[in-house]
Amino acid sequence: MAKILFTVCGIGYGHGSRSTILIKELRKRHDVKVISYGDGLYFLSTQFQDVLEMKGFRIFYAGNKIDKIFTFIFNIFYLPFMAISNFLIFRKLIGSFKPDVIITDFDINGLYAAKIFGVPSMLVSNMHMLKYLKTPVNLWEWIEYKFTDEIMIYFFTNPDHSFITSIYTLDRKQDSVEFFGPVVDENIMNAKSAKVKKDYVVVYMSPVNFHIFKPILKKIPEMNFKVYGQKYSRKDGNLDIKEFSREKWVEDLTNCSALICHGGMITLSEAIVLKKPCYVFASKNWFERYHNGIMVKKQGFGTINENPTEEEVRGFIAKIPEYKKKLAKRNMKPANKELIARLEQMINKIKK
């Protein structure tokens, strides 16, 4: 049995969701302490009773885009306080717990703590796919990416080993970097479609994005849409707006014709494993999600648009059978078992 300190990025729920799958498996054989912040702390605390809190960066939004200037300015001033606070938190935690390894799900704090206190480290990330699969952009977008997302990835000081999960298969090997397919919840892996075919599209997006998308969906009355991501439940013509329930989400996604979403990796992973065509509504301003949408489009699993129109959404719906054929041919499977097996191998190697 190893002692594992598992640190989780707290921006959004995706990292917490993926980490929950890995932590539950690792806790069957190891002593695992979990630490996070923000949304990640909230989500993980619904799954485990003993989640610890640290400080973390924040992202601010302007409409459906990241306010990169304000986000940058805020975090530059916040950084000294965060660094000192986390140094004290990790010094006390590592001193008392004495972990054999630090595993981090895209959390920079855990990697720096590993370097400072001399603990072996492993990184689980999908963001790092940006380093290995380039997305075509114009000159201004390339410059913006270079001075934002690429700098952020650069500051993830080299872990001893990296595990990159993705919905895109990359035929590439490096000594300290390994590539895996998507990691999804057990409920998705065990999901079974209803015998009676249901013709509707699931929509998952923030209230700000839904405000933009709602008028488009209302112009397509012949299609029903089940909408998640809002903080209320309501029937509105062809829209069935639902408060989030994991059980209902799995049921609706399993039986839907397709998915419209913001491009988060966990959401796309679940849809693609279930062979659901995807329409990604994402801005280049949130480059990771835009990049995820490009991977969807490149493989013929769906499409991506920054500025959606009724015509484009109707075009996507018309091509659902074509996208389904590509998904069926690819037949992407979850990589949960493979990733956990490699984590176990690396943990055992460290213990020796």
CATH number of the domain bearing residue 296: 3.40.50.2000
The yes-or-no verdict on residue 15 having pLDDT over 90 is yes
Task: Decide if 183 contacts 143 (C-beta within 8 A).
Answer: no
- Averaged pLDDT of the chain: 90
Whether residues 137 and 195 share a domain: the answer is no
| CA neighbor of 267 nearest in space, from 253, 256, 255, 247 | 253
Task: Decide if 33 contacts 93 (C-beta within 8 A).
Answer: yes
pLDDT in tens, 180-228: 999 999 989 988 776 666 799 999 998 888 988 999 999 999 999 999 9
The yes-or-no verdict on residue 316 having pLDDT over 70 is yes
Structure tokens at 191: 């999901």
Whether residues 31 and 111 share a domain: the answer is yes
Q: Which domain holds residue 345?
A: 3-183+335-351
Task: Return the DSSP state at 300.
Answer: T
Whether residues 157 and 259 share a domain: the answer is no
Q: What is the pLDDT of residue 227?
A: 96
The yes-or-no verdict on residue 18 having pLDDT over 90 is yes
Whether residues 106 and 7 share a domain: the answer is yes
Q: What is the pLDDT of residue 252?
A: 95
The yes-or-no verdict on residue 332 having pLDDT over 80 is yes
pLDDT band at 53 (very low <50, low <70, confident <90, very high): very high
Whether residues 240 and 302 share a domain: the answer is yes
Whether residues 178 and 203 share a domain: the answer is no
Q: What is the pLDDT of residue 141?
A: 67
pLDDT band at 143 (very low <50, low <70, confident <90, very high): low
The yes-or-no verdict on residue 122 having pLDDT over 90 is yes
How many domains, in total, are found in the chain?
Answer: 2
Whether residues 58 and 196 share a domain: the answer is no
Task: Return the DSSP state at 28.
Answer: T
Longest dimension (CA), the chain: 62
Q: What is the pLDDT of residue 340?
A: 97
Whether residues 167 and 256 share a domain: the answer is no
Task: Return the DSSP state at 2.
Answer: -
Residue 42 CA: distances (Å) to CA of 8, 15, 46, 80: 11, 12, 7, 24
Whether residues 127 and 18 share a domain: the answer is yes
Whether residues 344 and 310 share a domain: the answer is no
Whether residues 303 and 339 share a domain: the answer is no
pLDDT in tens, 224-254: 999 998 889 999 999 999 988 889 999 999 9
Whether residues 92 and 227 share a domain: the answer is no
